[in-house]
Amino acid sequence: MLWLVFTTGACNLRCDYCGGSFPDSLVPHRVRYDPARLKALVESDPEATVIFYGGEPLLNPRFIEWVMDNVRARRFGVQTNGTLYRLLPDSYWRRMNVALLSIDGREEVTDKHRGRGVYRKVIEAARHLKSLGVETIARMAVTADTDIYEDVTHLLSLGLFDKVHWQLDVVWSPRWDFEGWAEKSYLPGIRRLVDLSSGSSRG
């Protein structure tokens, strides 16, 4: 089973998808549940995969270390914006099976929504984690600024990401003409990606 382990509701960025940290009253900035209970639950599952989640989970690196040292799981991973990767020692990264890194494609698209300089920090993180043997997955938030074909192929061309996943920001935002964008940009881009993956092309 996949276990999403909450670490903090705080975040060091203010991406325009969610606005940064959640209010502490809504999503606590500190772990308030009993770690011993977490250990018992996870260890009851012989196929457990633990994914650290936030907020930005790397704002609570000591908790991540405690879980990895004390909770028996088959696999560990983290979903992170990547900018704070140095807060977790390499000895723990080497034990991490996968890192899902938030990056939205090309530099101009990523930095527009996540903040100036974020793209380069995520690329630095991906390069370092890949050198340690961690599987790296790009995690895109798709907006009206996204050219799905250009942004996905850009990330794949870097040779730093084993996979590219994405979700549509329409879940969070009513601020754009989703149907018009899907018809004119997204669906044609998806068709081009399908053609690319199948080795065919349209004239």
Task: Give residue-wise pLDDT tens across range 150-168.
Answer: 999 999 999 999 999 999 9
Handedness of CA 130, 52, 31, 103 (dihedral sign): positive
Coil vs helix vs strand at 110: helix
Residue % of the chain over a pLDDT of 90: 77
The structural domains of the chain, ordered by start, are 2-177 (3.20.20.70)
Q: 77 and 97 in contact (C-beta within 8 Å)? A: yes
- Distance of alpha carbon 131 from alpha carbon 127, whole angstroms: 6
Give 37-80 pLDDT, tens digit per residue.
999 999 999 999 999 999 999 999 999 999 999 999 999 999 99
**pTM of structure:** 0.91
Looking at residue 200, its pLDDT comes to 61
User: For residue 95, what pLDDT band results from cuts at 50, 70 and 90?
Assistant: very high
pLDDT tens per residue across span 164-182: 999 998 655 566 788 888 9
Q: Is 161 exposed, middle or buried (0-12, 13-18, 19+ CB in 10 A)?
A: buried
Cα of 98 vs its chain's centroid, Å:
10
